[in-house]
Amino acid sequence: MNNAVLTPSTGWLLMALFSVAWILLGWRLGRKAKTLDGYMLAGRNVGLALGTATAMATWVTSNTTMAAPQLAYQMGIWGMVGYSLGAMGLIFFAPMAERIRALMPEGYTSGDFVRLRYGKTAWRVFLGISIFYGIGWLISMGMAGGILLHALTGIEYKVGMTVILFVCMLYTMLGGLYAVIGTDYIQSILILVGIVALAIIAFARHGFEPVHATLAAERPALLNLLMPAALMFLFNNLLFGLGEIFHSNVWWSRAFAFRKGIGLKAYLIAGVFWLPVPITAGALALLAPHLGMNVPAVDMVGPMVAARLLGTGGAIVIFIVVFSSLASSLDSLLAATSDLLVEDIYRKHFNPAASEDKLRRASVFIIIGLSLAAWLICLPRLTHLAGMIAFTGAFVGSTIWPIAAGLYWRRTNPIGSTLGMVAGSAIGLTAYYVVGWYVAALVGSAVSMLVVLTTTLLAPRDFDWSDLQESPQEAAL
């Protein structure tokens, strides 16, 4: 059954308009990227406005704008509040971003930190986790793009998925991190204005008390503040968010890219600004019972409510919000994963003497290769692959302690950190299959914490923080 809220021709028109805008902006900003630092890290001089917007927009994925209404519809108030706690990842990362910039003014990736802090074995384990997670997230976003564009406009899955991946690849390739951050700013404004406009119009028309009264009469569980499943989701989501942000190069590359003194403020403000987004988007879904709507596909409840309330205008706004959310995450993933592959795999493993020009060319080829690989895997629409992002919770959870302890605790044991990542991932994954998806991140982080703390307390190792300051010449050796 096709529940599309827009016609394919409107979808094509909107998609063409925004695609051309992102590509032109990417091309224009790309002219600033004259050096490798410019291309990979936007010249390491990003200011507060662009820094805040890029952190916020990247964390607003299509999951935030589509799954928050679904969770509100299924788990009620705690579903959307639980989702909004994902903001804690950004808030906790804020002081870390400042410290990363201070400790590693010449750093490029999260891999650089793990290699210099813990040695090559830990580095390779970390790269395995980080690259696997980055590619997994890329695939799940690519698939989400095809599925959402089909659901919103009726455009065929393969066509929608190809367009969104191709557009993001093109402007990321043309402008590197300059293009990613520049487009993120506009996307963050579009997302915020879109959801605020929809929520204001929706509740101005129907009022809070009538909507509450319908929920109390027909779906009282959605108002229950002690729903166990929702509380469990809240806790797992919090840990998953922490692990994802602490380890992923998407966030580290921004810490390196922000001007000195910006990281703390930008991540802190971005976290506070992100907090109301899932609640505002999720609240729309709570109107569905009041509107007497039959919702055959719960993952489409947000767009369906918007279209019901505002007709084509509402559906267009939700399309722009979803398209912006998809692009702002896909471009960041392409840029950050390619940085990891260029710096930690190509340069450090195969070609340490590569010139800046060669590394920049390698970046372009890797962005194209990554997009092509993601496109090929997304093509058959194996939706169970999109679900694999849930079991990566074990992997990302296992990195929380090695990263946090490594940044702040001078005596952290390197072997313990490596073991923490391996044991946390293995036992977290076992818990995922034996207990359930909601414990993967929790068990992964708990095991890793235990191993890192025990080994460090029993066998502390000294570390000189200045060893993290690797010059470009040393890095090439």
Closest separation between CB of residue 178 and other proteins, Å? 8
The CA-atom distances, in angstroms, between 28 and each of 18, 31, 360 are: 15, 6, 18
Angle among Cα 233, 134, 444 to the nearest 5 degrees reads 45
CB of 55 to other proteins, least distance (A): 11
DSSP code of 344? I
Angle between helices 388-408 and 440-458 (to 10 degrees): 30
Q: Does residue number 302 form part of the binding site for other proteins (CB under 8 A)?
A: no
Does the footprint of other proteins cover residue 408 (CB under 8 A)?
A: no
Residue of 5, 56, 129, 333 that binds other proteins (CB under 8 A): 56
Residues within window 13-32 making contact with other proteins, judged by CB under 8 A = 32
Part in contact with other proteins (CB under 8 A); list of ranges 94-102, 157-165, 201-209, 442-450: 201-209
The answer to whether residue 269 forms part of the interface with other proteins (CB under 8 A) is: yes
The answer to whether 216 contacts other proteins (rule: CB under 8 A) is yes
Distance of CA 374 to the CA centre of its chain: 16
Unique residue bearing structure tokens 């299959």: 433
217 makes contact with other proteins (CB under 8 A): no
Which window, 7-15, 142-150, 158-166, 190-198, contacts other proteins (CB under 8 A)? 190-198
* One of 4, 14, 40, 53 touching other proteins (CB under 8 A): 53
Instruction: Out of 9, 35, 47, 410, point to the residue binding other proteins (CB under 8 A).
Output: 47
What is the nearest approach in angstroms of other proteins to the Cβ of residue 85?
Answer: 13
Closer to other proteins by Cβ: residue 34 or 349:
34
For residue 289, count CB atoms less than 10 angstroms from its CB and return exposed for 0-12, middle for 13-18, buried for 19 or more. middle
CB 281 within 8 A of CB 297: no
Question: 154 φ, ψ to 5°?
Answer: 85, -5
- Examine residue 317 and tell whether it contacts other proteins (CB under 8 A): no
DSSP structure string for 9-21: HHHHHHHHHHHHH
**What string marks each residue from 102 to 121 as x (binds other proteins by CB under 8 A) or -?**
--------------------
Interface with other proteins, residue 200, by CB under 8 A: yes
Q: What is the radius of gyration, based on Cα positions, of the chain?
A: 22
Listed ranges 125-133, 193-201, 338-346, 383-391: which one lies at the site for other proteins (CB under 8 A): 193-201
Name the segment binding other proteins (CB under 8 A); options: 1-9, 195-203, 381-389, 435-443. Answer: 195-203
What type of residue is 389? I
Applying CB under 8 A, does 223 fall inside the site for other proteins?
Answer: yes
- Count of residues of this chain found to bind other proteins when the rule CB under 8 A is applied: 48
- Single-letter residue type at 364: V
Q: What is the DSSP letter of 258?
A: B
What is the number of alpha carbons within 13 Å of residue 103 lying toward its C-beta?
24
Distance CA 123, CA 114 (A): 5
Nearest Cα neighbor of 189 from 103, 264, 277 is 277
Q: Which stretch binds other proteins (CB under 8 A): 50-58, 120-128, 247-255, 438-446?
A: 50-58
End-to-end C-alpha distance for the chain, whole angstroms: 59
The binder of other proteins chosen from 273, 323, 375, 395 (CB under 8 A): 273
- Which one, 328 or 456, has the nearer CB to other proteins? 328
Q: Give whole-number Cα distances, 258 to 97, 368, 419, in Å.
A: 9, 26, 32
154: left (phi over 0), alpha (psi -120 to 50) or beta: left
* Binding pattern for the stretch 81-100 against other proteins, x by CB under 8 A and - elsewhere: x--x----------------
Residue 373 interacting with other proteins (CB under 8 A): no
Cα separation, 157 vs 322, whole angstroms: 15
Among 49-57, 155-163, 312-320, 385-393, the segment contacting other proteins (CB under 8 A)? 49-57
Please give the Cα distance from 326 to 17 (Å, whole number): 15
State which of residues 24, 34, 218, 220 lies at the interface with other proteins (CB under 8 A).
220
Shortest approach of other proteins to residue 385 CB, angstroms? 32
Q: Contacts with other proteins in 121-180 (CB under 8 A)?
A: 178
Nearest residue to 85 via CA among 242, 250, 222, 229: 242
Task: Give the span between the Cα atoms of 50 and 266, in whole angstroms.
Answer: 9
Contacts with other proteins by CB under 8 A lie at 32, 42-43, 45-50, 52-53, 56, 77, 81, 84, 178, 185, 188-189, 192-193, 195-196, 199-200, 203, 208-209, 211-213, 215-216, 220, 223-226, 259, 269, 272-273, 275-277, 279-280, 283
